[in-house]
Amino acid sequence: MNAQPVSQPVFEAQRVQEMLGQHHGTVAECYHVAMAGWNEHARLIPDQHAQLGPGARGVYLHDLAVGHAKKLFAGTNVKNFLFRQVELFDFGQGLLLRFKQPDCPDTKTAKGLANQLLLIPEIALADPDCQTIVVAEYALDPSGTQIARVSIACMVGSRREWSYRVDSAADVWAKKRVIPEDKERRRKRRVQPLKKLSR
């Protein structure tokens, strides 16, 4: 008779909110920046962009969000590592976060992470009785061109243990528009006055 593995206990939502603290806005920003990149792609290459479906958009947003998170968390106490092809962000004290595409079937590893069953060596000593993996997820507006909300959720198997919203477009994105790097570089350049030629 095969014994079913038992999930570990998970942190309550309030504890996760306290542990993530100031990083909530950072997590939300990652998805807003990713969506801005997707919309820029639509503007620059409209014919090709029109041929891409929701699956391509999901992969694109996920990869850009993770890439932006790596930049923002570099040099902080949040550590990033790859675990069986899944990018994880370690907030210490047994809390890990991953970015997730909505409605995307999970790989075997991701299912194990959602079941809170995989003991990950990087956090094994942090809190052996309660390690929790949460997901940063987003929902789109009806047009599919804007992020309607970003949430932090804790899944145990297919059951949503809890979730809470960390932003809305009005809360975060309207206050912090991201300037593309090339425009930022142009903005910082100062024009030097021409020197008069001596005769």
Q: Which residues contact 41 (CB under 8 A, 6 or more apart)?
A: 49, 60
User: Mean pLDDT across the stretch 134-148?
Assistant: 92
Percent of the chain topping pLDDT 70: 66
Least confident of 81-85, 100-104, 119-123, 133-137: 119-123
Mean pLDDT of 78-103: 85
Contact 152, 20 (CB under 8 A): yes
pLDDT band for position 5 (50/70/90)?
Answer: very low
Indicate the pLDDT class of residue 193, thresholds 50, 70 and 90: low
Q: For 77-102, what is the mean pLDDT?
A: 86
Structure confidence at residue 101 as a pLDDT band (50, 70, 90): confident
pLDDT-derived band of residue 188, with 50, 70 and 90 as boundaries? low
- Both structure tokens of 8: 């570990």
Strand order in the sheet with 79-83: 79-83, 86-90, 95-99, 132-140, 147-156, 159-168
What is the rounded distance in angstroms from the CA atom of residue 135 to the CA atom of residue 102? Answer: 10
Checking if the pLDDT of 133 tops 90, the result is no
| Spatial separation of the C-alpha atoms in residues 47 and 156, rounded to whole Å | 41
Condensed to tens digits (0 to 9), the pLDDT of residues 63-89 reads 999 999 999 999 899 999 887 778 889
pTM of the model: 0.74
What are the extents of the domains in the chain? 13-188
Task: Determine the Cα–Cα distance for residues 107 and 105; give it in Å rounded to an integer.
Answer: 7
- Rounded CA-CA distance 174/33 in Å is 12
Say yes or no to pLDDT of 178 above 50.
no
Confidence (pLDDT) at 86: 81
Q: How confident is the model at residue 156 (pLDDT cuts 50, 70, 90)?
A: confident
Average pLDDT, the chain: 78
Task: Give the pLDDT of residue 117.
Answer: 52
Q: Which is nearest to 135 in space by CA: 88, 169, 177, 176?
A: 88
Average pLDDT over residues 117-133: 59
Paired residues of 96 in beta bridges: 90, 133
Which of 4, 6, 12, 7 has the alpha carbon at shortest distance from 134? 12
